[in-house]
Amino acid sequence: MIFVKCLIIFIACMAISVHYNVKGNLVLFVAIGGAMTFFTYEISSPLQSVILQNFLASVIASIYSESLARIIKVPATTFLIISIIPLVPGSNLYRSMELCINKEIAKFASSTLETLGIAGAIALGILLVSSLFRFAYVIIHIKPHLPHYNRNNQGN
């Protein structure tokens, strides 16, 4: 059953990538990212925390996007934006607004906090991985070329 859902997500991400004018073989890579993100979300369900599931799935989507961006030489956002679409808490947001309109304030507050938690978890996962990749880039490519880094220079 999980593979059927992943196949549906794969097809949906392909359609969305065509809508966003992703060209050529990138459509396939973007769709794989979306399916992989949803698969991670589904297999992490034993954690019994929707927020943690979204965090882990967004970390996987970010790692995939950042890695593939360096391999294919395309901006990471090309892969990332469509890969995280399966995680977007649209139904939670709709439910929150419906509860607000029906004046069920306690349920509205609870639902809204959960929705904000999911959105925050997705953003935090992306931020964490993106920061680590940029930090690694600086260490590998920039720091060895700085004058004070070269120990043999002795300030000359």
Q: Give, as one character, the DSSP assignment of residue 153.
A: S
Q: What is the pTM of this model?
A: 0.86
**Distance between CA atoms of 108 and 100, rounded to whole angstroms?**
6
pLDDT tens profile 15-64:
999 999 998 999 999 999 999 999 999 999 999 999 999 999 999 999 99
Q: CB 94: neighbour CB atoms within 10 A?
A: 12
| pLDDT of 152 above 60 | no
Q: What integer pLDDT is reported at residue 116 of this predicted model?
A: 95
Per-residue pLDDT band for 14 (boundaries 50, 70, 90) equals very high
pLDDT tens profile 82-109:
999 999 999 999 999 999 999 999 999 9
- CA-wise closest residue to 113 among 124, 127, 99, 103: 99
- The three state secondary structure string of 39-104 is HHHHHCHHHCCHHHHHHHHHHHHHHHHHHHHHHHCCCHHHHHHHHCHHHCCHHHHHHHHHHHHCCC
